Amino acid sequence: MRDREVNSQDIGPEGFTGGLLEKEWAPCRHGCPVHADVRTYIEHAASGDLAGAIDVIREQLPFAAVCGRICHHPCEDNCRREEVDEPVAIREVKRFVAETQGAQGASLHPIGAPSGKKVAIIGAGPSGMSAALELAKYGHSPVVFDRDSVAGGIPATTIPAYRLPPDSVRMDVEWICAHGVELRLGVDIGNDVTIEHLLVSEGFDSVLIAAGLSFSRKLPIAGADHHRAYPVLDYLQTVKKGKRPDIGDDVVVIGAGDVAMDAARTSVRLGAENVKILCLENEEEIPAYEWELREAREEGVEVIQRRGPVRIKTDSKNAIIGLEARKVTRVFDEAGNFSPQYDDSDVVEVSADTVIFAIGQAPDPGYAAGSALEVDERGRISWNPDTCQTDIENIFACGEIVTPPGSVVEACESGKTAAKAIDSFLSGTKIDLGKEFPREIESLPERNAENIISRDRMPVPTLSPEKRKCSFSSFQSTYVPDVAVSEARRCMSCGGGAEVLIDKCSACLTCLRVCPFDAPVVTDVAEIASEGCQACGICEAECPSNAIVMKRYDRDCLKVKTKQAIDAGSDVVAYIGGFRASAAEWRGECGDELPGMAEIYLTATASVGVSDLLYAFEIGAKGVLVIPCSSGNDRYPMVAARTGRRVAQARKLLAESGIDASALLMAEAADEGRSAVVSILKDFMNNNSFQK
């Protein structure tokens, strides 16, 4: 018995194969904390369908625009394209899609029947807002409180505009609020109003604490209370509000995480001449993402490693004149725990007139004032990860206040999970947050990889360090449309490929013989593992037993499109390999489309079978054109050759049936640009007198 056996009845009515996609997940989806269906939205983007793409993204990820800018993209780290050349630039494609579509360009999710239950959420950051969205979808009434005057949490108030402009956050918040999420900004829970009051007097059924980590930690060293020794969040928040903190020309940032990089690069943009990062870690241990560190260095930031601050030195006028730092002999102990040791005999003085502490954040437990919640000396509350509950059953918590520090997408996941727990609690059912995921598709076998055509990753337009140092504007622009679709077409459609219906397989070996990637294996029946399959569709089109379905499209989808075109009045159908085509061509928005001619764009003509070609004639087409890219220039190898064979076979069958075979033609031109394609379409129409 095979562990992943599929029979013909498993594909459901009309040959719909969508359910099979949930049998296995690509590593990009597995790696994503919210398990966004990356393959599907990238595929929508590749065909120019940005409305479809944003809906798939937002299905799981409320902060699509924010994550398009600043996500740490575990999807890309997991991308199997790495085994061929470089990972697909998933985040950049997502940014393009999210920013092009905006808040109004995404569909709203359906809202459940009103439950009459109210939930107060403390904190309008990614976790609180994600929870609010989910609660609204469950039919509850979420109200989000935040002491700040803008919603969005750290992304809105703190992350520098050159990385994340306020518009991106607004886009996401606006879309979330459109689901009936109420915002009450400028309300400081625990100060203006207590949790008790919300529950007892305002009639909230539950409270969710999503307050995040809003205190910057400082070190207890001499001089730390100087007015030019800033906690990093205060510093960044001042700048994001458009104000200029008092800094000198010699800024030292203590710490080497991503927030430290933000502080250093912000200081560069404020005009500081010397900006240094001073950290305990060496190059390998630095916790910031590699690109953050690299970009900071490009902007002139100096990184002093393996030094721990001892004291901030001031002169007689109480101006900071330097920072004494001792040598670090180790940062972590043998077990990998943070346990720094120093050599006090080796102390240097680093010049400085401003110091920024970026050594981590802590919770501000102020929200708990006047409530029965118990807060420990570190500001933490007790929390059950299995139910997201605190020690009071109708008070829940999510986000960094209870989880390890993470990125926006991780906060979204935490918020969504808490919302699920609250929904169970409010509906009186047991909270069960157990998660089981489909099998993860494993790495690409070498014998399959060597047949995949290499494609360069599209570079992101980036300002030179000299230019970006002077501005808080975005230093990286989004892709232009044609570059975005080209990048999306690098996706290998992992998990969207062939599935063998074993009750129909004749073990005829045809799939094995036609696969350009050497993916099928035939024992008693054929097996095509998702590890090697590239989802080109060649085997599906050739299988004599119709025993292969493609998971990423329904078996008869091309026939359905053809029928729609004929029913809409077209006489002639052109099947065009869309690997080199623009988004406008895919969408039929070039403005030079010919009357009576339906252009149907496909990932590649590899999937067009003889029966698809005959079908067009059977339902009334007067002519059919097949236009693959020229040999070697298509998405997959051998497409033009395979397509040519099928067209020849179909012509033979047509001639036998009394249909003029010249009504079916193939031209390898889909890679030669729009004018070449239009010229072929026109010639075909004129030569065959199809025009009405």
Footprint on this chain of other proteins (rule: CB under 8 A): 503-504, 506-510, 513, 543-546, 609-611, 614-615, 617-618, 653-654, 656-659
Shortest reach from residue 640's CB to other proteins, in Å: 18
Closest CB to other proteins among residues 192, 618: 618
Closest CB to other proteins among residues 347, 619: 619
- Whole-Å CA distances, 122 to 183, 373, 528, 576: 10, 14, 50, 53
**């998660």: which residue's tokens?**
435
Shortest reach from residue 545's CB to other proteins, in Å: 5
Shortest reach from residue 647's CB to other proteins, in Å: 14
Closest CB to other proteins among residues 369, 557: 557
The neighbouring-strand residues paired with 311 are: 222, 324
Shortest reach from residue 284's CB to other proteins, in Å: 53
CB 585 within 8 A of CB 578: yes
DSSP-assigned letter for residue 501: B
How many residues are listed for the chain in this entry? 692
> In what helix (H) or strand (E) does residue 521 lie, and over which residues does it extend?
strand 520-522
Shortest reach from residue 649's CB to other proteins, in Å: 9
Shortest reach from residue 629's CB to other proteins, in Å: 24
Closest CB to other proteins among residues 313, 563: 563
Shortest reach from residue 577's CB to other proteins, in Å: 22
Shortest reach from residue 653's CB to other proteins, in Å: 6
Shortest reach from residue 654's CB to other proteins, in Å: 7
Parallel, antiparallel, or unpaired for β 320-332 and 307-314?
A: antiparallel
CB 101 within 8 A of CB 127: no
**Distance between CA 42 and CA 20 in Å, rounded?**
18
Tokens of 268: 């560069």
Closest CB to other proteins among residues 37, 540: 540
CB 79 within 8 A of CB 28: yes
Q: Is 182 helix (H, G, I), strand (E, B) or coil?
A: strand
Shortest reach from residue 607's CB to other proteins, in Å: 14
Closest CB to other proteins among residues 308, 609: 609
Sheet containing strand 338-351, edge to edge, reads 307-314, 320-332, 338-351
How many CA atoms lie within 13 Å of 225's alpha carbon, on the beta-carbon side?
Answer: 2
Closest CB to other proteins among residues 9, 316: 9
Closest CB to other proteins among residues 226, 645: 645
Closest CB to other proteins among residues 111, 509: 509
DSSP string covering 281-341: S-TTT--S-HHHHHHHHHTT-EEE-SEEEEEEEE-TTS-EEEEEEEEEEEEE-TTS-EEEE
Tokens of 246: 């008092």
- Summary count for the chain: helices (H), strands (E): 24, 25
> In what helix (H) or strand (E) does residue 625 lie, and over which residues does it extend?
strand 623-627
**Distance between CA 144 and CA 172 in Å, rounded?**
15
- Beta-carbon contacts of 574 under 8 Å, excluding residues fewer than 6 positions away, are 597, 598, 599, 600, 624, 625, 626, 627, 681, 684
Closest CB to other proteins among residues 407, 546: 546
